[in-house]
Amino acid sequence: MDKLIAKNITVSYEGANIIEDISIELNKGEIVCLLGVSGVGKTTLFNVISGLLNPDEGIVELDGRNITGKAGNVSYMLQKDMLMPYKTIIDNVSLPLVIRGEKKSKARDITAKYFQEFGLEGTEKKYPFQLSGGMRQRAALLRTYLFSDQVALLDEPFSALDSITKSVMHEWYLQVMKQIRLSTLLITHDIDEAIILSDRIYVMAGKPGRIKEEVIIDEPKPRDKDFKVSESFIKYKRHILSILM
């Protein structure tokens, strides 16, 4: 069973700690949110987990292997979809397979099988500018999944969407995750989003950034619009706000 563990991570810059003594874990098939205000060090922690940044202290393990400072073991999706404007959607999405050495035609064939599951059917030969923001994010998420079906790091993937589109994407995302069970660590500063999507939430706060509390969201999925106005949702939100304040 794939398990991602970050132990006692500390990162400093010019003599001052940015994040300090952070330990988190992600189990197979979980969606775990890293929640905190801007500047608390969430992206710094992601850069360490992805292998793009070496920590001053601590290690990162995937399924028992030390991957500290080793890029390419987990997939990483940034806030922007980063789709190449001159490539069709299927060529954008199949890029991880081509990079790994698959012939372009075979990479397209493999990728095409996922288009219906991700709600992208009919977009194969279109270009990014022809798609809505929500559809572009679907394409970016599929590309992320094809890079690594073990663990994905998503850095505020829905932050650029309007509130209605975001709500639709949340429901879609939970349905897709139920099918593919991609272990996902997701950054957000949106408390509602964290509660709706997560199995667990690590609340970050302070300077340097630390994990203040782990909040378990013990609610069935997928979570619909009614959950967002439920008493239990409001209780979770009040508790998280009390931690952040």
Asked whether the beta carbons of 110 and 97 are under 8 A apart, the reply is yes
pLDDT for 2 beyond 70: no
Q: What CATH homologous superfamily does 4-74+150-244 map to?
A: P-loop containing nucleotide triphosphate hydrolases (3.40.50.300)
Residue 108 to residue 123: CA distance in whole angstroms: 13
The pLDDT, as a whole number, for residue 1 is 52
- Per cent of the chain over pLDDT 90 is 60
Q: Mean of the pLDDT values across residues 156-182? A: 85
Predicted model pTM: 0.88
**Where are the domain boundaries for CATH 3.40.50.300 in the chain?**
4-74+150-244
The pLDDT, as a whole number, for residue 15 is 87
pLDDT for 133 beyond 90: no
Asked whether the beta carbons of 68 and 51 are under 8 A apart, the reply is yes
The pLDDT, as a whole number, for residue 193 is 93
* Per-residue model confidence as pLDDT tens digits over 193-217: 999 999 999 999 999 999 999 999 9
The pLDDT, as a whole number, for residue 177 is 85
pLDDT for 24 beyond 80: yes
Q: Which residue has the higher pLDDT, 134 or 235?
A: 235
Distance of CA 135 to the CA centre of its chain: 17
Q: What is the pLDDT of the chain when averaged over all its residues?
A: 90
The pLDDT, as a whole number, for residue 80 is 75
Asked whether the beta carbons of 29 and 220 are under 8 A apart, the reply is no
φ and ψ at residue 199, rounded to 5 degrees: -85, -40
* Per-residue model confidence as pLDDT tens digits over 78-110: 777 788 999 999 999 999 899 888 899 999 999
Q: Mean of the pLDDT values across residues 150-159? A: 88
Q: Mean of the pLDDT values across residues 14-19? A: 92
Residue type, 196: I
Asked whether the beta carbons of 133 and 161 are under 8 A apart, the reply is yes
